[in-house]
Amino acid sequence: MKPHFSMKIICGLFALILTSILPAISFAQDELRVAVRMFASGKGNTYTGCMCTPGVYTWSAQFETLTKLKADGSVAPFLAERWENIEPTKWRFYLKKGVKFSNGEPLTAQAVKSTFDFWKTEQGGNWAQGKTMKGFVKDSQVVDDYTIDIITTKPNPILPKNIKDPSILAPKAFADIGAEGFTKTPIGSGPYVVTFAEETATGVPNPNAWNKAGNIKKIIWTALPEATARTQALISGQIDVNTAISPDEALKLDQAGMKVYAKPSTRTMGITLVSTRNLKPVDGPIGDVRVRQALNYAVNRDAIVDALFYGKYAKPSTQPAFPGINGYDPSIKGYNYDPEKAKKLLAEAGYPNGFDFEVRAIVNDENFKNFYEAVIADIKAIGINATLIGQNFGGTGGWLEHWLKGDWPYQGFGIGFDLTATMDAGRVWNVFASCLKSGGKAPYFCDKEMMPRIEAMNGEFDPVKRRKMLQDLGRETVEKAPIIFGIEFDEMMAYGPNVKNFSHIGLWIPYEQLWVN
């Protein structure tokens, strides 16, 4: 009887906890209640991040971009109906006519230019989006109300994919209330108008939207950091969608009659190695390629996939790209599990007794937390004194601060390669593992010998030649091991049986297509 009684207590405690967390959520038939791990650090201010986790879960309801990606990774029209490359460094975009922001402002070429021009300001240039996009976009020029030219910093064959990320903002509203105002009450052109509080956000249909919402009259997003709380909330009917679940939770939810949506991710799990800090090569073990290779040979990826993902929801990562990404090369086999070879490489590099290796990572996602812990355990097994310390995404000392500054006071941090923005392997070297990261101001890996090949790839418009360049760079990057390659995994969400037409592409949930019974 004791286990049964304990389970009653546990369930009762969950109910009490969830009631205190979700007191304002009603159960109207035309509402959708969504649980997220956290909100973006800038909440409704899209300049502070990319169209990726965690911001994408709310931003995809509120904002629209010039282009978007299809499920197969190809680029499709969105606010821009079509585009053409008219000069090596000039692309012309033709906008959809008649689009309005939720406050009634017309969405014109001037709105696009105002959005892009903010990257040039001191404030905009210091945020993540500006640091990334300034590497691609030099200027923008209004041709007429619905035509805009985008001038690139250099010839760019995939600009239509690059600009899939920045949300187009209402220029007058942004001028009136600024970035701080957009944090809580942003103005976009998407199907919903979203406002942010501390741990919740609320969306109502945008009366001016061209992309009209379905029958959902209100969306309520709630931050529930604990995975067990999100799972219990979905099973108990207090939420309708859980945006992040683990394989363990998938089994529980499926047994409880919930729907599980699993789709290969457009990012990988890995541990990035800091071999460049404050624009200088690091002294010590991580600066030695043999050590970085040893760390890769130390990891038993197959065991991690079997133990944590049931051999079903993940597979070992062999290279920077992965299936479905332009530039993936199936002939690259990556690092096998070989702890003896790892120890031999450490000895050759002068570290036969290991070294101190501190990794910091965001661990509020159960999948990532379990992965990091498993990797750390494997690294310890070859004699390295490895430690894992949890960190926040934003705030002082958070993940984002060091990502932007390039001053990591530790040897490794949690991230693999996130190619969601373009579904193109070129993003690996333009945003992550090269001297180009953050406009060249904050790289964690900078091999100057690779730069001519990276620059040549960036300027190649022939898709066949460019794909071969991407594959060659992928093979070279595996050899130089800027990260501990981890796993390719499924992005898993779950929803109640009352939700219809649920899907996501690169975590972008098309809320306008959803219906609730």
CATH number assigned to the domain comprising residue 229: 3.40.190.10
The residue among 510, 14, 457 whose CA lies nearest residue 234 is: 14
Can you give the pLDDT at residue 361?
A: 97
Residue 282 DSSP label: P
What are the residues facing 499 on neighbouring strands? Answer: 516
Can you give the pLDDT at residue 27?
A: 57
Which string of b and e fits 458-489 if b means at least 16 CB within 10 Å?
bebeeeeebbebbbebbeebbeebbbbbbbbb
Statement to judge: residues 295 and 443 lie in one domain: yes
- Tell me whether the omega of the peptide bond preceding residue 171 falls within 30 degrees of 0, making it cis: no
Can you give the pLDDT at residue 14?
A: 46
1 domain-assigned = no
Which among 111, 140, 170 is the end of a domain? Answer: 170
**Could you tell me if 78 and 65 are in contact, meaning their C-beta atoms sit under 8 angstroms apart?**
yes
Can you give the pLDDT at residue 177?
A: 96
Token pair listed for 305: 């996939």
Statement to judge: residues 51 and 96 lie in one domain: no
Residues 6+ apart with CB under 8 A from 73: 324, 325, 326, 423, 424
130 domain-assigned = yes
Measured between alpha carbons, how far is 464 from 70 in angstroms, rounded to an integer?
20
148 domain-assigned = yes
For residue 257, the tally of other CB atoms under 10 A from its CB is 9
176 domain-assigned = no
177 domain-assigned = no
Measured between alpha carbons, how far is 455 from 446 in angstroms, rounded to an integer?
14
Statement to judge: residues 269 and 247 lie in one domain: no
Cα angle value 236/238/243 (rounded, 5°): 100
Statement to judge: residues 251 and 370 lie in one domain: no
208 domain-assigned = yes
Statement to judge: residues 118 and 250 lie in one domain: no
The CATH number of residue 90's host domain is 3.90.76.10
Residues 6+ apart with CB under 8 A from 7: none
Can you give the pLDDT at residue 465?
A: 97
Counting other chains too, the contacts that 96-102 makes at CB distance below 8 Å and 24 or more residues apart are: 96/146, 96/210, 97/146, 98/210, 99/189, 99/210, 100/189, 100/208, 100/210, 101/170, 101/173, 101/187, 101/188, 101/189, 101/208, 102/170, 102/187, 102/188, 102/189, 102/193, 102/206, 102/207, 102/208, 102/209
Statement to judge: residues 318 and 270 lie in one domain: yes
Statement to judge: residues 215 and 296 lie in one domain: no
Phi-psi region of 396 (alpha: psi -120 to 50; beta: other; left: phi over 0): beta
6 domain-assigned = no
In the chain, the number of structural domains is: 3
Statement to judge: residues 47 and 125 lie in one domain: no
Measured between alpha carbons, how far is 469 from 197 in angstroms, rounded to an integer?
46
Statement to judge: residues 56 and 83 lie in one domain: no
Statement to judge: residues 290 and 353 lie in one domain: yes
At residue 455, φ and ψ (nearest 5 deg) are: -65, -40
The CATH number of residue 411's host domain is 3.10.105.10
Can you give the pLDDT at residue 167?
A: 96
Statement to judge: residues 238 and 206 lie in one domain: yes
Measured between alpha carbons, how far is 252 from 231 in angstroms, rounded to an integer?
8
Which among 170, 201, 234 is the end of a domain? Answer: 170
Per-residue pLDDT of the chain (517 residues; tens, 9 = 90+): 333 333 334 444 444 444 444 544 445 779 999 999 999 989 999 999 888 889 999 999 999 999 999 988 899 999 999 999 999 999 999 999 999 999 999 999 999 999 999 999 999 988 888 888 888 899 999 999 999 999 999 999 999 999 998 999 999 999 999 999 999 999 999 999 999 999 999 999 999 999 999 999 999 999 999 999 999 999 999 999 999 999 999 999 999 999 999 999 989 999 999 999 999 999 999 999 999 999 999 999 999 999 999 999 999 999 999 998 999 999 999 999 999 999 999 999 999 999 999 999 999 888 899 999 999 999 999 999 999 999 998 889 999 899 989 999 999 999 999 988 789 999 999 999 999 997 788 999 999 999 999 999 999 999 999 999 999 999 999 999 999 999 999 999 999 999 999 999 989 999 999 999 8
Residue 160 three-state SS: helix
Residue 219 lies in domain = 20-63+190-258+496-517
13 domain-assigned = no
Statement to judge: residues 236 and 291 lie in one domain: no
Which among 108, 137, 170 is the end of a domain? Answer: 170
Which string of b and e fits 375-410 if b means at least 16 CB within 10 Å?
bbebbeebbbebebeebebbeeeebbbbbeebebeb
